[in-house]
Amino acid sequence: MAENAPEASAETHPADAFLAGSLRHAPGPYFGAYGGRWMPESLIAALDELDETFEKAKQDPDFLAQIADLNRNYSGRPSLLTEAKRFSQHAGGVRVFLKREDLNHTGSHKINNVLGQALLAKRMGKTRIIAETGAGQHGVASATAAAFLGLECVVYMGAEDCRRQALNVARMQLLGATVVPVTNGSQTLKDAINDALRDWVANVSTTHYLLGTAAGAHPFPAMVRFFHEVIGEEAREQVLEQTGRLPDAVCACVGGGSNAIGIFHGFLDDPSVRLYGFEAGGEGVETAHHAATITLGRPGVLHGARSYLMQDEDGQTIESHSISAGLDYPGVGPEHAYLHDIGRATYEPITDTEAMEAFSVLCRTEGIIPAIESSHALAGAIKVGRRLAAEGGDPADRIVIVNLSGRGDKDVQTAAEWFGMLDENGQVKGTTLSTRRPKGFVPGEGTGAVEELA
């Protein structure tokens, strides 16, 4: 006898959603069967306080003006929408436009959310923010907002991610944040979130947990999306201005899903625009090494929300794998789970290899080094573009927007390793040929200049 109603019952059908009206501005706490608050009672009061503060703030013209001012005069918004004409040749000849979140201050979309939440923290009278980070982009953005607004900042980062993203660890420290390497579990993003939650429950009276993705307990998914909606709003306006029409498809990478939900939001009520989220397929979804949560996961609860989850038959979280630290997360935001179930957005895996090929193509065709996370969206756009071209007609009449969520400076070491640019000592090949007498005998100690003068 079947004990239970089937899991993941898509309780809302696309027809219902459209009949009910707009998919935009979904307030939470539930997105269909997903979302909610699967959290310890100790944190519920803090979530309520945050919810109340956020709901007031988003109706408050002063707050909205403050955000608009910071977006323009601190982050550098609006970010550009750049047509990638040479890259297009690799995508079936369709027109590809890049939403340039890589040009924001701190180098990714993450700044949109941290400024918003840090302002809310101040409104709540909190003096300290904590954050988790995978690739380091959210940690750097949090450290930046904390420095800018005079808040104390502690960032939890998996020890494995610290190794992969050492440059970002240094950036956070330069910005005055304390970085705590997390050595529990898989030593990546999910474990960093666990430790941040443990910190939060102990320090909730002074501390705001500045969650970096559109996941977690209510109000985080709806709130993080709110601060990123600017991406989709700008992109929609820009593409209309530059081409006179809406795109055929919008592509974004999905880890927790914050950049994707931000750009999707602008197009949710445009039924002609197909939305694609590209998950990290790692070494391939047929292997055990990937982070394709929607593709292969099943509903469960993790970090406060019900959503798709990579889990074993016992409900234990499965360690994810991706070359991209920012996508290396076994969960996904609940609104994406809902958009998947109702068929409004399509989620597909992109392997490490496909992402790195797209990374290389963009570098060489457009002079832009993308984040490896964003390279998953680029690889997806290549596929989508070819499919659109195969549908017939002039491919130049087809338009695809890719959310270029971050720049790749932080990924240079990983990319150099992937493309075989390093020697056996981990040095970039061709950079150790100088025949001049070494300036310093002990690496990292003293300065070459002093040695030379002596």
Partner 1 sequence: MSATDQHAQQQGTQSGSAESTGRTTASKAAAAIDRARAEGRAALVGYLPAGFPTVQESIDAAIALARNGADVIEIGIPYSDPVMDGSVIQAATTEALANGFHVASVFDVVKAVTDATEAAVLVMTYWNPVMRLGVDEFARRLAEAGGAGLITPDLIPDEAAEWIQASDKYGLDRVFLVAPSSTAERMAMTVAATRGFTYAVSLMGVTGARASVDESARRVVAEARAAGAERVCVGLGVSNAEHVREIAAYADGVIVGTAIVSALRDGGPDAVGELAAELSRGLERGAGA
Residue (of 131, 134, 212, 141) closest to 171 by Cα position: 141
Nearer to partner 1, 316 or 425 (CB): 316
Answer yes or no whether residue 431 interacts with partner 1 by CB under 8 A.
no
Contact 208, 129 (CB under 8 A): yes
| Nearest Cα to Cα of residue 418 among 284, 299, 323 | 323
- Minimum Å gap between C-beta 301 and partner 1 is 5
Place of tokens 């055990």: 288
Q: Which one of 101, 132, 160, 373 is the catalytic residue? A: 132
CA distance 53 to 46: 10
Is residue 181 at the binding interface for partner 1, with CB under 8 A as the rule? no
335 as an active site residue: the answer is: no
What is the C-alpha separation between 291 and 295, in angstroms, rounded? 9
- 22, 25, 27, 44: which one contacts partner 1 (CB under 8 A)? 44
User: Applying CB under 8 A, which of residues 109, 190, 290, 407 lies at the interface with partner 1?
Assistant: 190
Q: Which is nearer to partner 1, 74 or 200 (CB)?
A: 200
Map residue 40 onto helix, strand or coil. Answer: coil
**Closer to partner 1 by Cβ: residue 2 or 442:** 2
Cα separation, 102 vs 370, in Å, equals 8
Site string for partner 1, 135-174 (x = CB under 8 A): ----------------------------------------
Please give the Cα distance from 394 to 12 (Å, whole number). 37
Q: Which of 34, 37, 95, 223 binds partner 1 (CB under 8 A)?
A: 37
- Of residues 205 and 447, the one with the C-beta less far from partner 1: 205
Residue found by looking up tokens 């993941």 in the block: 8
Known catalytic membership, residue 99 = no
Q: Contact between 183 and partner 1 (CB under 8 A)?
A: no
Q: Does 401 contact partner 1 by CB under 8 A?
A: no
Known active-site residue 110: yes
33 in contact with partner 1 (CB under 8 A)? yes
Q: Which of 80, 147, 159, 201 binds partner 1 (CB under 8 A)?
A: 201
In the numeric block, the tokens 């800018």 are attached to 148
Task: Please enumerate in sequence order all residues whose Cβ is within 8 A of that of 293, keeping only pairs 6 or more positions apart, or say none.
Answer: 279, 308, 309, 310, 320, 329, 330, 331, 332
- Measured from the CB of residue 218, what is the shortest distance to partner 1 in angstroms? 10
314 counts as binding partner 1 under rule CB under 8 A: yes
Task: Select which of 75, 99, 108, 110 is catalytic.
Answer: 110
User: Minimum Å distance from CB 34 to partner 1?
Assistant: 12
Contact present, 45 and 124 (Cβ < 8 Å): no
Contact, 208 vs 250, CB < 8 A? no
Asked if residue 211 lies in contact with residue 225, where contact means CB atoms within 8 angstroms, the answer is no
Pick the stretch among 161-169, 303-311, 359-367, 385-393 that binds partner 1 (CB under 8 A).
303-311
CA distances (Å), origin 406, targets 29, 32, 99, 144, 368:
29, 30, 10, 16, 11
Catalytic annotation, pick one of 160, 335, 405, 410: 405
Residues that bind partner 1 in the complex, under the rule CB under 8 A:
3-5, 9, 11, 33, 36-46, 48, 184-185, 190-191, 194, 197-198, 201-205, 299-303, 309, 311, 313-317
